[in-house]
Structure 1
């Protein structure tokens, strides 16, 4: 299975490719040659990402060519997507990475992750609705819920279960 850094790199390229290729597709809608060029670049990048193992360098070259093309032709276009701020780019990439990681896991593991995720959401909402929780306990609930979600993102079921139990203890103490 791919390591997390490779998954993150694939997700980063896929995110940028999706945003920019959608914009370029809108711009070249009536131009057959430009549509073929876009298809060649986008399909090439997607094929490189889907290869086993993924060819991140080739995918990045296709993406770079698409960026140069968009910068040359549509730099001043009012709907030209701009690069997201680092924090927003990381949030978007994290969503892509979760999908890639999730798709690489066996069905029983995904089922178990779904069970833990549902339990986490139910317990989190129940604790957030408790009027008797003080501010500190509420912060602890949010913190442990975040840690459990991060453990699930990484596919670490034992850590997610541990954080879920920890969140329950916080609710009992608060």
Structure 2
């Protein structure tokens, strides 16, 4: 399986490529030559990303050509996509990376991950619905649940299961009413 850094890089290029190519496709809808050019650029980038190993340099060159084209032709267009803020770009890239990683896993591993994800969600919701749960304990449950989700994103099933057990231990602490703030 590809390394996590490589998956992240592929996801980042794919995300930017999808957004920009969609915008350009809208702009060139009635221009056959421009549509052909766009098709060639996107096909080239897709081929580079799909090769084994992916050629991120070549895909990035195609992406940069799309950026240059959009900046040259439609810089002032009211719907020209702007680069997302770093936190939003990371969230979007994370979604792409999860899809790429998911596709690289065997069916058995995906099934096991699905079971762990379901277990995490059910146990998390059950813990959050406990009456009289103190604010600090609730925050700890959210934190540990986030760690379990992150472990799943990284493909560490054992770590995710360990964090789920830890979340249950945190939730079984004597509940006390307290205010956060």
TM over 0.5: yes
Shift of 1:131: 2.4
Partner of 1:8: 8
Shift of 1:35: 0.3
Is 1:65 paired with 2:65? yes
Partner of 1:110: 110
**Distance in 2 between the 1:139 and 1:64 partners?**
43
TM score, norm. by length of structure 2 = 0.95
Partner of 1:154: 154
TM score, norm. by length of structure 1 = 0.98
**Distance in 2 between the 1:172 and 1:120 partners?**
16
Partner of 2:122: 122
| Dislocated runs of 4+, deviation >3 Å | none
Partner of 2:134: 134
Instruction: Flag structure 1 segments of 5+ consecutive residues without an equivalent.
Output: none
The 3-state SS of whatever aligns with 1:80 is coil
Report how many residues are paired. Answer: 174
**Distance in 1 between the 2:86 and 2:113 partners?**
28
Shift of 1:127: 1.4
Instruction: Flag structure 2 segments of 5+ consecutive residues without an equivalent.
Output: 176-181
**Distance in 2 between the 1:7 and 1:153 partners?**
12
Rg larger in structure: 2
Determine which structure has the larger helix proportion and give its number.
1
Matches within 5 A, 1:24-43: 24-43=24-43
Partner of 1:96: 96
Q: C-alpha deviations, 1:88-123, integer Å up to 9, x for none?
A: 000000000011011101111110100000010111
Partner of 2:179: none
